[in-house]
Amino acid sequence: MSRIDPKTSKGIKTRDSLVETATHLFYTDGYFQTSTHQIAQEAGMSTPSFYQYFYKKEDILFEIITTFSSKLFGRLKLSLNPEDGLEVNIRKFYTEYLTYLKINRKNYKIFRETEFVGYPYVKQYYSELGEILKSLLGRDIPDWLPVNEIIYNIIGSAYFVALKKIDWEDGGNIFYLSDELTRFTIEGINNRPDYKLKSNIQKTWMFSDLSAVPRKVSKSEETKRGLLRAAEKLIGQNGYDKTHISDITREAGVGQGTFYLYFQSKLDILKALVQDINKGLRFAVYQYIVGLSHRNDIEVGALLAFAEYIKNHRNAYRVVREAEFIDREIGKWYYNRIAKPYAIALKEAMTKGEINSLDPELLGLAIMGIGHVLGLRWVVWSESNNPAIPEESLRNALKIILFGVKGEES
């Protein structure tokens, strides 16, 4: 929100210069690492001059994101037509959405960095995007799927595809990406006419408790894990920039000197924490899928494992997301460590004829994105002390993954 609405051409130019400078700094250095003083200095003015136009840094961020989202929404409204039908509009959505994100990579990166902080505009962004899709697709969505579920799953399926193919790889054939995502959304992965989800997926598919396997640990290992858990809690709640080593050691109940026996710096413990979260999530998935052989069943188990893990590690969500902007390679390592073996497993299942043939890398990214948005909706955005993804929402997501929006389960 602007402090003033400049009337003169000079005032408008100055305000626009601040927004442009802030966009550049937020993109290159990160939102949380950029100060109002840096923005003003880079724009060639004093810090007091900044406050003539904006109350605080958050207001200029809101200005950037509002412009980014309003132009996107306008583009989608112009492109989608209810008369075109469900499949055509889904394909158009993916095409327009991914194209817009490719054109506006800077603003999209800024949005992603701040989407876990709790700013109201994040919920508003997803809500408005969902309402646009609902108004254009709602009448064609089958009765067996709640409209909100398919809308959020469509949005989620594009999330990591955009991140990897457009942001990290700076490219990707938009029409190919859109076609593959549309096929997945319409058809799902299931090719077994007799396949049906079990009536109580939570109880049926839980093979074992997701708590750590009991084993003896040394005093040293126990101390290190205590530091990691303290870092997960504090960075997850307060952010990396506002968390200090002294805070971590105080939370862990050890002296600062002990910290340096295990980690060289705050960045070092962040990297170790991201690796630990990655290992924990993969172990959680293993606990749910051990003994399963068919890919359909494995996908059910994996999504349930993710839901259970994120319920118990809410702060891990922000840690992993923020780590990408502190050190880009950390974030890339985390997601690639999951996505690459996932794509290999999906390709093997396609070769066996267990699931429909799609681009295995894109399919894996799409399913990961569906889980991501489930986590946002029900855990990260929740005001509950013990948030969890509802079983009904998990079931609906699995229906879409398995059967698509046109392939109702038998």
CA dist., res. 262 & res. 267, Å (int): 12
| Domain assignment present for 6 | yes
The pLDDT value given to residue 410: 42
Amino acid making up residue 112: R
| Domain assignment present for 344 | no
| Domain assignment present for 207 | no
| Domain assignment present for 143 | no
CA dist., res. 298 & res. 291, Å (int): 9
Query: Phi then psi for 313, rounded to 5 degrees?
Result: -135, 55
| Domain assignment present for 9 | yes
Helix/strand/coil percent split, the chain, to 5: 70, 0, 25
Neighbours of 115 (CB within 10 A): 20
CA dist., res. 242 & res. 261, Å (int): 23
CA dist., res. 401 & res. 403, Å (int): 6
| Domain assignment present for 192 | no
| Domain assignment present for 33 | yes
Helices H, strands E: what count in the chain?
A: 20, 0
Name the token pair of 404: 């698509």
Amino acid making up residue 215: R
Half-sphere exposure of 52 (CA within 13 A, CB side): 12
Of 217, 221, 241, 245, nearest in space to 231 by CA: 245
pLDDT tens digit at each of 410 positions of the chain: 555 677 788 888 999 999 999 999 999 988 888 999 999 999 999 999 999 999 999 999 999 999 999 999 999 999 888 888 888 989 999 999 999 999 999 999 898 888 776 667 788 888 899 888 888 776 677 777 788 888 899 999 999 999 999 888 876 799 999 999 999 999 999 998 888 887 666 654 454 444 444 556 788 999 999 999 999 999 988 989 899 999 999 999 999 999 999 999 999 999 999 999 999 999 999 988 988 889 999 999 999 999 999 988 888 888 998 898 888 899 899 999 999 999 999 999 999 999 999 999 999 999 999 999 999 889 888 888 889 999 999 999 999 999 998 766 54
Amino acid making up residue 113: E
Cα→Cα distances 50→7, 57, 334, Å: 16, 9, 37
Contact (Cβ atoms closer than 8 angstroms) between residue 25 and residue 39: yes
Query: Phi then psi for 54, rounded to 5 degrees?
Result: -135, 140
Name the token pair of 290: 């051990």
Domain span at 8: 1-55
The pLDDT value given to residue 11: 85
Give the total number of structural domains in the chain.
Answer: 1
The pLDDT value given to residue 86: 85
- Can you give the CATH number for the domain in which 28 is found? 1.10.10.60
The pLDDT value given to residue 15: 92
Of 359, 318, 324, 354, nearest in space to 342 by CA: 359
Residues 6+ apart with CB under 8 A from 96: 75, 76, 79, 80
Contact (Cβ atoms closer than 8 angstroms) between residue 157 and residue 180: no
| Domain assignment present for 98 | no
Contact (Cβ atoms closer than 8 angstroms) between residue 93 and residue 154: yes
CA dist., res. 270 & res. 40, Å (int): 30
